[in-house]
Structure 1
Amino acid sequence: MTLTGRRPLLLGAAALCMAAAGALFAQYATKGKAAEFVPPAEDICIVAPTRLSVPYPHDPASGLDRLAARPVPADARCPVCGMYPARFPKWAAQIIFSDGSAHFFDSPVDLFAFLDEPARFDAEHTAADAAALYVADHRSGTWVDARKAVFVIGSSVRGPMRGPDLPAFAEPGAAQAFIAEHGGRALAFDEIGHNTAHELRNAAHDGHMH
């Protein structure tokens, strides 16, 4: 076959190579893009290994004050139980340390468990380093200063770990309306001491692996 006769074949082969290369490049580019993190369909509740959890640093580009409540990252895991707090917007809690870093919790019970034994879950911070504490209002999902919130203990409503928890409310009236429907009693932040935190954590984690 002459060179002239081969030319269409060569051009066709070159076109196929370019198409294949383009397809490979597109596939690579797609894989290289940062995909939005999506938590697994089933949460697994496990106690995090001692001193494993690393808090999220403050991001100045967020425009939020260093100690302001911030959105829960989709990939954040509770340092106490390992669940994804972003999946539970009406139960979530967060602690912001004086250095601006933060831990996120799937429920108030785990926030209090952390404050009760911080060295068990974080090698760098103590309870004294907590500059701000926030819990989600159980009715609206908006952030509330945990020290000013009203918590309900002993209700029939189960928390993210399918056990007893502490739904929080910004207003006493909302807490009382919840109690009228689901039972329980109201507690202020300072009324939730070591014994209460310990009992609730044990009840929430015991037999509620999922």
Structure 2
Amino acid sequence: MASGDRLAWVFFSVAAVGLLMGDSVRTNSGAAPEDVCIVAPPTPYNPASGVAMHAPRVVPTDARCPVCGMYPARAKGWAAQVVFDNGDTQFFDSPLSLYQYLQDVGRFTPGRRAQDITASYVTAVDADTWIAAGAASYVYGSSALGPMRSGNLPAFSQRQAAQQFASTRGGVVVSAENITPELLQNLSTTPRHRH
């Protein structure tokens, strides 16, 4: 068999398999799915780690953000996390994703509720360390691009550092209690999933 004949045979075989499998990728209504979502599970607590159950942890390289699917370990300077009452941890690529998650926990982590979260942390730009998300000062509307290459909420441990950042990069300083769904929507470029 000539190489051209082999190539034609391969294409024919792939097309036939595609036709046979076509119905298996359809929903019950007969329509093809709009998108495919992989829900990022929380990382289970490991008592042998030596880390207190509700303390912040190092972001594992394989952890995925449940909001956008990115790997938070690739942008540690922006990372955030929540710790559930059983010690399981969900990691995020940025404070923006953290606050989007907190708006509807069950949507992003089926079976979990906001009431089950005992701690949330963000990486402080000015200190390069984990701080409580509720104690951070954030800069909204700056020129700083987050891991998704769009607007975000850089977090700071000191309000003065956030104000200095805003004076050079633009934006306004906001506290956690001023982060509203409208503010998040203005920053969001993440398409809505129907989990």
TM-score tier by shorter-chain length is 0.7 to 0.9
CA contact (8 A) 1:112 1:197 kept: yes
CA contact (8 A) 2:40 2:69 kept: no
Q: 2:57 aligns with which of 70, 73, 80?
A: 70
User: How is 1:1-210 mapped onto 2 (pairs within 5 angstroms)?
Assistant: 49=37, 52-201=39-188, 204-205=189-190
Deviation of the 1:180 alpha carbon: 1.3
CA contact (8 A) 1:114 1:121 kept: yes
Partner of 1:31: none
- Provide the rounded CA distance (Å) in 1 between the counterparts of 2:185 and 2:90: 19
- 1:51-87 deviations in Å (ceiling 9; x for gaps): x231111111111110000000011010111101011
Q: Which amino acid aligns with 1:78?
A: C
Aligned residue for 2:101, secondary structure, equals helix
Deviation of the 1:112 alpha carbon: 0.6
Deviation of the 1:48 alpha carbon: 7.6
Which one has the largest radius of gyration?
1
- 1:85-116 deviations in Å (ceiling 9; x for gaps): 01111110000011110100000110011011
- Provide the rounded CA distance (Å) in 2 between the counterparts of 1:83 and 1:113: 14
Deviation of the 1:199 alpha carbon: 2.8
CA contact (8 A) 2:40 2:63 kept: no
Greater than 3 Å deviation, 4+ residue runs: none
CA contact (8 A) 1:107 1:159 kept: yes
Q: 1:130 to 1:65 in 2, by over 3 A?
A: same
Gaps of 5+ in 1: 1-46
What is the aligned length? 157
CA contact (8 A) 1:134 1:146 kept: yes
Question: TM-score when scaled to structure 2?
Answer: 0.76
- Provide the rounded CA distance (Å) in 1 between the counterparts of 2:70 and 2:133: 20
CA RMSD of aligned residues (A): 1.6
Percent identity (aligned): 43
Question: TM-score when scaled to structure 1?
Answer: 0.71
- Provide the rounded CA distance (Å) in 1 between the counterparts of 2:160 and 2:168: 13
Q: 1:161 to 1:145 in 2, by over 3 A?
A: same
Q: Which amino acid aligns with 2:95?
A: P
